[in-house]
Amino acid sequence: MIFKIHLCIFVLLLNGFLQVTKGAPSNVYLDPVKQGRDVILIVIPGAYIRGEAYRPLCEELQRQSSLRLHVALTTDYVANLPNPGEAVIAINNALAEFQRRGLDESTPLFLSGHSLGGAVIEQYIFENADKISGVLLWASYFSETKLEDIPVPLMHLSGSIDGQVTVTDMTREFEQLMELHTRDQEMVYRLPVVISENVNHAQFASGPMPLRVRREDIPAEIPSEEAYEKLAKVCSDFILVHTPNLNDAESKEQAKFDVKTAVAETNSFLQPIFEARGMEEKRKIRSYKYSEWLNTAQNLVANISDESQDRILTQSLMYDYEEDLSESVPSIVTDSSQRVVITARGILRPATGDKRSSREIAAKLKTQEVISTYLSAEFGSTVDCRAINENCLVIAMDLASKETVDRYKDRGRQMSFADDMEVLSIPEWDQTTLSYSETASTMTVRSSIYRSPMEPYISGESGVQYCNLLSPYRAIEWLYVLSLKPYNG
């Protein structure tokens, strides 16, 4: 019986396999336009995009490269959806064809995948690392693989206004590169992560885009020809750096310099995003997690005059579990050196869908009224939750590049803030989250607020202000990415 089932499955698999080979993928070849060293580039397209769509970028690459670049654009996947099985067939067909055309087996081989096309060749890359000189991931990344485990030179290249593989996605790869770079300076050449400014997801390809891209991608800002030029330049440098046994040492040095410069520019580009993300939550070494933004929020509520600042210490404690937050209260004590120590409590509520930043920081703060009983100092006016959130956007705009702020003001859905929704009990507040309501042109953010009066005989829940805080990371992700994506109702 079991055997029969196995046989059945086997026949099914075989059938599937035959069907795949029958509708086999095919390749479009772009003949080299230069003399010089032979190099092969095989391209795997994105989901529902045909291989031919990469012709303009690859022709530009052939023009810019000093190498004799032979290109195969793989295409005709079943349902136009690249998959690992067919990609291997397409790659092998291309290699056989190049041999037939007189290239020997030792010709340097580069692979490129756009979007899904990158993911489908991951296994091939691991299994054929010795055959591959380099890989170019175009707006693509391996979601489960660490950068340091990648067995070949590999470049991540994406656009700064890509609405699908976003700059916030690329922070993960970039951080790993920085980490590797501290150990080995060669890593910027081996595993560069490059963001090309003002390029979107579609601009690696050409022609009409599939529905998913149209719904997700940020509208183009520069003509595609300009995008191809920028992208081809970095690709050409990377390929040159990893083409073995070149005799033209000088141009290779220049290409290395250019790759390194592109990585350095990406580093500056990402700094505001890293900074805003760092404000969400950090872990003290071998200790608890805190949030810089929660500390700031508490200080805004306290609004103590500058002269008295050194008499209070604001800190925060970030929890992993909702139960821990709901059982906690913010605390205020006077320490042995007569300093007032306030500990705010909070938790990150995770991102969903296409976002990388936390949905909110649920925050438990002490009211100014309570603080003022611990400390005779001058206090300014206190703030509600809305004002803290408004402040968060201001800070994100200060961090963001001028170009990003201009683009947001010009074309982004503007973030605005509604008055806090007052709730009357803690259990009720526990159920609330920061509300985001979006229209084609605006995004309205609204917090709930729970405030308790000061009751001298009840310590914990006396004089508290609970808020749903906008995360600085979300605010910056809004400016760089989310506000610019098409509004899909």
Ligand X SMILES: *[C@@H]1O[C@H](CO)[C@@H](O)[C@H](O)[C@H]1NC(C)=O
How many residues at the interface with ligand X, by CB under 6 A?
Answer: 5
Query: Does residue 383 belong to the site contacting ligand X (CB under 6 A)?
Result: yes
3-state secondary structure 319-330: ECCHHHHHCCCC
Q: How far is the CB of 298 from ligand X (least distance, A)?
A: 12
**Interacting span for ligand X (CB under 6 A) from 116-124, 259-267, 285-293, 376-384:** 376-384
Let me know if 162 is exposed, middle or buried by CB neighbors in 10 A (0-12, 13-18, 19+). Answer: buried
Contact residue for ligand X among 380, 427, 453, 460 (CB under 6 A):
380
Nearer to ligand X by Cβ, of 176 and 303: the residue is 303
Nearer to ligand X by Cβ, of 130 and 306: the residue is 306
Max CA pair span of the chain: 90
Nearer to ligand X by Cβ, of 128 and 299: the residue is 299
Nearer to ligand X by Cβ, of 350 and 380: the residue is 380
End-to-end CA distance of the chain: 52
Nearer to ligand X by Cβ, of 274 and 379: the residue is 379
Identify the H or E element spanning 405.
helix 402-411
Nearer to ligand X by Cβ, of 140 and 298: the residue is 298
Among 482, 489, 457, 488, which Cα is nearest to 161's?
482
Q: How far is the CB of 281 from ligand X (least distance, A)?
A: 22
DSSP 252-276: HHHHHHHHHHHHHHHHHHHHHHHHH
Phi, then psi, of 422 in degrees rounded to 5: -80, 130
Query: Does residue 219 belong to the site contacting ligand X (CB under 6 A)?
Result: no
Query: Does residue 303 belong to the site contacting ligand X (CB under 6 A)?
Result: yes
Shortest Cβ contact with ligand X: which residue? 380
Q: How far is the CB of 372 from ligand X (least distance, A)?
A: 13
How many other C-beta atoms are found inside a 10 Å radius of the C-beta of residue 379? Answer: 16
Q: How far is the CB of 391 from ligand X (least distance, A)?
A: 6
Query: Does residue 486 belong to the site contacting ligand X (CB under 6 A)?
Result: no
The DSSP code for 451 is E
Nearer to ligand X by Cβ, of 271 and 309: the residue is 309
Query: Does residue 300 belong to the site contacting ligand X (CB under 6 A)?
Result: yes
Contact residue for ligand X among 376, 381, 431, 488 (CB under 6 A):
381
Q: In whole angstroms, what is the distance from residue 285 CA to residue 301 CA?
A: 28
Nearer to ligand X by Cβ, of 303 and 308: the residue is 303
Question: Could you tell me whether strands 109-114 and 134-138 are parallel, antiparallel, or unpaired per DSSP bridges?
Answer: parallel
Written as six digits, the tokens of 252 are 């290779």
**Interacting span for ligand X (CB under 6 A) from 3-11, 193-201, 377-385, 450-458:** 377-385
Q: Who contacts 319 (Cβ-Cβ below 8 Å, separation ≥6)?
A: 325, 328, 345, 346, 347
Q: How far is the CB of 462 from ligand X (least distance, A)?
A: 23
Binding site for ligand X (CB under 6 A): 300, 303, 380-381, 383
